[in-house]
Amino acid sequence: MFETVASQRFLQEARISKEQIASLQHHLDLIKQSKLDTPISQLEQGIRELTDGPLSLLQDQEHKFEQVESILNTFRDWTIQDTIEEIRRHITFLDKHQGRTDLVLATVDYSKSQEFETVFLIWLNKVFRQRLCVSVSRAKQRLFLVGEERAFAMNNVLSQVPGGLYSKLSHTEVQTDYVHY
C-alpha cells in the first residue's frame, strides 16, 4: 500500500510540486517530533523556524500577528495537551452560554441592528464618527462610555459633559473616565 502512496504515479496524480513537498516535509517533521507533553514554547520555536506557516505568513498583518502572539504568550509554559484542553474548555464555556443576553460582548461592527437596555462602549479612544453613532444608538436605557481621559478631552461634545455625569477612575496603568448618560 505504501508503495502506491509513495509512487511517482500517485504524486503526479495529485499534482504536488517539488516545492510543496519540500515545504510539507518541514511541517510534518514538526508534527512528528512533538508529543502531547511537549511545551508550547518548543513547538512555537519550530513553527517560527518554518519559512511559511502561521507565524511567517502573518508577518505583514500586524493586528492578526499580535493576536496570535498574545495566545502564544498565554500558553508558552503549558504543554500541548493542557493547551488543547483549555481551548476546548473555553469554547465549551462559550457554547454553553451563547444566546444569553444579560452580558454580551461585541465589537462595534457586530453590534449593528441590535439593542440592549445598557451599553458600555469600552475603549472609546478607538471609536470615531459613524462607528460612534452605531455604538451609542444600541442603548435603549443607559449608555456608559469608557475610555482614557484624553479621548473625552479631544471630543467637542464629550469634553463639555457636566461633571455630575461622569466619574474619573485611576488605575495603576491607565487613567480611565466614565461618562454616564
Partner 1 sequence: MIDATLGQIAQLSASEKESIVLIFGDKKMLPQAQYFLKERNITFALMDGQQTMYQLHYVKNLLLYLYLIEDKMRDDAMECLLRYNIVPYFEKTQIIALKKLANRKGLPCLRQLLRKGSYRRQE
The reply to whether 161 sits near partner 1 by the rule CB under 8 A is: no
* Residue 62 CB-density burial (10 A; 0-12 exposed, 13-18 middle, 19+ buried): exposed
**Sole residue written with cell 502506491:** 4
The reply to whether 157 sits near partner 1 by the rule CB under 8 A is: no
Q: How far apart are CA 32 and CA 73, in angstroms?
A: 23
Torsion, CA 77, CA 83, CA 85, CA 88, rounded to 10? 140
**39, 55, 149, 161: which one binds partner 1 (CB under 8 A):** 55
**39, 42, 76, 144: which one binds partner 1 (CB under 8 A):** 144
The reply to whether 57 sits near partner 1 by the rule CB under 8 A is: yes
The reply to whether 120 sits near partner 1 by the rule CB under 8 A is: yes
The reply to whether 11 sits near partner 1 by the rule CB under 8 A is: yes
**70, 130, 156, 160: which one binds partner 1 (CB under 8 A):** 70
Q: How far apart are CA 127 and CA 147, in angstroms?
A: 10
Distances in whole angstroms, Cα of residue 2 to Cα of each of 7, 27, 32, 122, 172: 8, 20, 18, 57, 62
Q: How distant is the alpha carbon of residue 115 from its chain centre?
A: 24
Q: Looking at beta carbons only, is 70 or 160 nearer to partner 1?
A: 70
The reply to whether 166 sits near partner 1 by the rule CB under 8 A is: no
Q: Looking at beta carbons only, is 160 or 170 nearer to partner 1?
A: 170
The reply to whether 171 sits near partner 1 by the rule CB under 8 A is: yes
The reply to whether 111 sits near partner 1 by the rule CB under 8 A is: yes
